[in-house]
Structure 1
C-alpha cells in the first residue's frame, strides 16, 4: 500500500501571518533551505532532526517575525493564563542573526543557559562502530 504525505500547513491561512518589516527581512528571513543545508544544520545542532512541520514551513517562508503571534493554551503557562506568544521563527540557515545556526541561534541559546527544544524532534541515529 502506498502512503501519501500531507503537508502540515495545507489549508492554513497565511494571510496576515508574517510581519515582513525591514527588521524581520534583514535579521530573520532567508531563502528556502535545500535538503543538504537542512542535513548540515541538523548535524551542527547536535544530531537532532528538525520536525517535518518546521521544514515544511521553512520551505514556504524561511523564518521571520509574525503578526498573528498568540497561540491558545488549555493550561496556564509562565507567560499567561491562556496563551503563549511567539515573536518570530528562526530560519533554517547560518547567515541571518536569527537562524538556527546563526549568531543568535541554537548554540548561542544553549551557551547562555537556554534549553533547545524542538517539538517532535528526534535524535539522528548514528551507525554503531564495529570492532
Structure 2
C-alpha cells in the first residue's frame, strides 16, 4: 500500500518509465519473501520491477549521465516508524536530479484493516 502511494504522488515522474526500482536496504525487518511480494505487487504498473540502490542502477547502465536521469523511477525508503496502530514511511521517488520528491506515507490500522490515511510530498527538486 505504501509503495502504491509513492507511485501516485507526482505521477509526471512515471511518464514513459521503463522500470520501477526499490531501494529496500533500510528495511532490515523484511525477509526475502516479503520483499518478493512487494516487487511482484508492483508489476501491475506494467514495467520491470527490481530491488536496487541508485549505485546498483548506475553500475547496470540504467542511469544516463548526460541527462542525469533514470529511464524509470527509484523508490527509496529512508526511515520507518512502526507501532501496533500505524506505520510511517519516509522516503523518496527519484527520476532525475531535477525530478525527485520526498514522500511521507502514513498507514493506519483502522477497523481491522491497514489503510493509507496520508501521503504527502515533503520536498521537491
TM-score by length of 2: 0.25
Whose strand fraction is larger, Structure 1's or Structure 2's?
Answer: 2
